[in-house]
Copies of this chain bind each other. A is one copy, B any other.
Amino acid sequence: MPPLAHELASPQQLDTPDTLHTKEWLRRYQRIRQASERLCEPLCTEDYVIQSMDDVSPPKWHLAHVTWFFEAFILVPFQPRYRSLDPIYDHLFNSYYETHGVPFPRPSRGTLSRPTVAEVYRFRAHVDAAMAELLESPPPEHAEQIVRRVELGLHHEQQHQELLLMDIKHILAQNPLCPAYRDDLALPTEELPGDLAWLEHAAGIRELGHDLQTGFAYDNEGPVHRQFLEAFQLANRPVTNAEFLAFIEDGGYTRPALWLSDGWQQVGQAGWQAPLYWVKREDGWYHYTLGGLLPVDPQAPVVHVSFFEADAYARWAGARLPSEAEWEVAARDASMGGNFVESDHLQPLAAAARGSAAAQLFGDVWEWTGSAYRPYPGFRALPGTLGEYNGKFMSGQMVLRGGCCATPSDHIRPTYRNFFPPHARWAFSGFRLAREA
């Protein structure tokens, strides 16, 4: 939970917003908006334009879409003087809000050369100037709502910062030239994580989810509710590349008995033989990273695996994936430090030995859980168009927890629910094992 968000978003304060308050939000706004642009600095203009698969968006689209969010949900409703640069942007940069006009078809985002990258940056500057003016002197009757939406918009932008890195990686990885996104990334530390250990958790009723009255969280993280957990054991660290290689070498990708039916079909259709971005060469396995093509580090957590692969590995290992509730119980008391985007590795690192504590719950790799992404009891989506933010994706996806090496550190929470379809691999997704006590 970012301290600023916690402090500012508490309902008491929002009841009495004032200029001081919104000015603090403006500084936060500016800091996060600049972070997005900093992530794009290493790109060539051409990199901004590519859509390498339907799920990927061109980087310039990301930059424009997050800007549109502020325009559509804050400036247009609350700033009467605001003028859009081009009314068609509202169509082009609406991602999926069906109740807000007709979104431009997602698979065609890569056919748009215009607005150019420079024009997208002008759009950002235009909206930023209007947002600064608004936050300098907000209409008092809307100040609370504006702050709530700025907060949501900034979390939204941070999500897209991670998506930017995922998508840039996917875009550059298609290219036989294997260009590095950056060649000055922070070097990995040399760690030798010890043997896998199992941490015990007793059975009992647990409180889960986020109290949406106290500090920011997405609607899908609440409300707080109770679950009964049977006793379970959780691995003290994620599965490593070395361990996953043993699965590969044991024929893991060729044995249907290890796979869910849909997963086995996917293996056959897509020809999977290793995690995404892995390439076998004569001298061993390499993988494409944002720093270029590098040898796979055996000690680092395996990454860019699908839920299907995580699930098959767990079956092979005689274990299972934790439920999201089990994960959350373990993570409640864990330190939230970790390898996030600020560490500037942009690749998961080997865990330091930690004795009995669970390592790497936060950062490094998103961890697939065994839980389908469904609403909590009592879930209420946000009202209006913003209600499309999370709730409508609650079918066909699995929950991941904990953030990764591309996540901003102040964007993650123990209750944070990320989600992807079970075949998706382009997120920085790994996994940790669990088993019955």
Contacts from A to B (Cβ < 8 Å): 44-52, 60, 86, 88, 91-92, 96, 98-99, 104, 108, 110-117, 171-172, 174-177, 179, 203, 205, 225-230, 232, 256-257, 259-264, 307-308, 311, 320, 323, 370-372, 374-375, 377-378, 387-388, 392-396, 398, 422, 436
CB distance from A69 to the nearest CB of B (A): 18
Please state if A260 and B392 are interface contacts (CB–CB under 8 Å). yes
- Measured CB to CB, the nearest residue on chain B to A259 is B392
**Contact partner of A228 among B46, B174, B205, CB < 8 A?**
B205
The 6 closest A-B pairs by CB, nearest first: A372-B372, A98-B256, A228-B228, A46-B113, A47-B113, A261-B392
- Measured CB to CB, the nearest residue on chain B to A89 is B177
The complex places the Cα of A369 from the Cα of B344 at a distance, in Å, of 44
Tallying the copies of this chain within the complex gives 4
**Contact partner of A114 among B44, B60, B256, B308, CB < 8 A?**
B44
The complex places the Cα of A225 from the Cα of B256 at a distance, in Å, of 29
**Contact partner of A262 among B261, B371, B374, B395, CB < 8 A?**
B395
The complex places the Cα of A419 from the Cα of B370 at a distance, in Å, of 17
**Contact partner of A227 among B177, B228, B436, CB < 8 A?**
B228
**Contact partner of A395 among B110, B205, B263, B393, CB < 8 A?**
B263
Given A45-B45, A176-B104, A264-B98, the answer on whether A111 and B171 have CB atoms closer than 8 Å is: yes
The complex places the Cα of A52 from the Cα of B256 at a distance, in Å, of 28
The complex places the Cα of A259 from the Cα of B226 at a distance, in Å, of 27
Q: Which residues of B lie under 8 Å from residue A260 when comparing CB positions?
A: 392-395
The complex places the Cα of A44 from the Cα of B46 at a distance, in Å, of 10
**Contact partner of A46 among B116, B176, B307, CB < 8 A?**
B116
Please state if B114 and A179 are interface contacts (CB–CB under 8 Å). yes
8 A-B contacts (beta carbon < 8 Å): A49-B113, A113-B171, A114-B172, A115-B177, A225-B230, A260-B393, A261-B395, A377-B436
- Measured CB to CB, the nearest residue on chain B to A398 is B395
Q: Which residues of B lie under 8 Å from residue A48 when comparing CB positions?
A: 46
The complex places the Cα of A327 from the Cα of B27 at a distance, in Å, of 50
- Measured CB to CB, the nearest residue on chain B to A47 is B113
CB distance from A309 to the nearest CB of B (A): 12
**Contact partner of A88 among B117, B176, B393, CB < 8 A?**
B176
Given A422-B396, A436-B377, A436-B378, the answer on whether A176 and B91 have CB atoms closer than 8 Å is: yes
Please state if B378 and A370 are interface contacts (CB–CB under 8 Å). no
The complex places the Cα of A394 from the Cα of B203 at a distance, in Å, of 24
Q: Which residues of B lie under 8 Å from residue A372 when comparing CB positions?
A: 372, 374
- Measured CB to CB, the nearest residue on chain B to A229 is B377
The complex places the Cα of A410 from the Cα of B272 at a distance, in Å, of 43
Q: Which residues of B lie under 8 Å from residue A370 when comparing CB positions?
A: 374-375
- Measured CB to CB, the nearest residue on chain B to A208 is B228
Among A50, A86, A398, A422, the most chain B Cβ lie within 10 Å of the Cβ of: A50
Q: Which residues of B lie under 8 Å from residue A371 when comparing CB positions?
A: 374
Q: Which residues of B lie under 8 Å from residue A396 when comparing CB positions?
A: 262, 396, 422
Among A98, A113, A205, the most chain B Cβ lie within 10 Å of the Cβ of: A113
